[in-house]
Amino acid sequence: MADAVPNGQPAVNGLTSPPLPLSSSLVFLGTGCSSAVPNARCLIQPPDPPCPVCSQSLSVPPELNPNYRCNTSLLIDYCQDEVAHKYILIDVGKTFREQVLRWFVHHKIPCVDSIVLTHEHADAILGLDDVRVVQAFSPTNDIDPTPIYLSQYAMDSIAQKFPYLVRKKLKEGEEVRRVAQLDWRIIESDLQKPFTTSGLEFVPLPVISDLHFSISCVLFCFLFFCLSFVYLSGDTW
């Protein structure tokens, strides 16, 4: 199995390398804060003295630069057998399109088979409109929807922000639009009850959001082969 390091680079035995074709891997699509790194303000309105992180962010290509980070997100490339790969995306933040252009192309990832959302903040959901680019294309949008798992709290918030992604049917006379097709699946109120998507079992554990002091963020723990991985959405890794 290929482990992973920040900025989308998987590693084998500590050496940077493309993911092995017959093994599963984790790809860190982003490990940055909500505003991402660099902070655009630091570049267009540079402070004096200049920020030591943002000022170096454009010095080398992003894939080699620890000071260039997108919103926190993880892609699981789960190899179920010798030929079948399933791609599970955790969180779809504001920088999702950039992550697709940078890392999906680099790792030859053709699609996303399922999505897990940890919470409803901008850095976890505002890329949902762009999920259509990792789905099959159909002029009539007649495609299988992508399963997406989230809490009821997050669902209520997303329904207000993206009503056109939640609505099941077009209104009479409404023109077909090419929008992401999503199969919304609510995690049961018993948050510690496991669920399975794309062949992997997830165990959601509630954590208190530091912004709202409510259970609006969810920590997802899941068993991956014989090893345990924990995903906790936050500003840094």
Instruction: Say if residue 43's pLDDT is above 90.
Output: no
Instruction: Say if residue 220's pLDDT is above 80.
Output: no
**Higher confidence at residue 80 or residue 185?**
185
Instruction: Say if residue 18's pLDDT is above 50.
Output: no
Q: Which CATH number fits domain 3-33+69-231: 1.10.287.110, 1.10.240.10, 3.40.1390.10, 3.60.15.10?
A: 3.60.15.10
Query: Strand order in 15-16's β-sheet?
Result: 3-5, 9-12, 15-16
pTM passes above 0.85: no
Query: Strand order in 25-30's β-sheet?
Result: 25-30, 73-79, 85-90, 114-116, 146-150, 182-186
pLDDT in tens, 147-201: 999 989 899 999 999 999 997 766 666 666 789 999 999 988 766 788 889 988 8
pLDDT at 95: 96
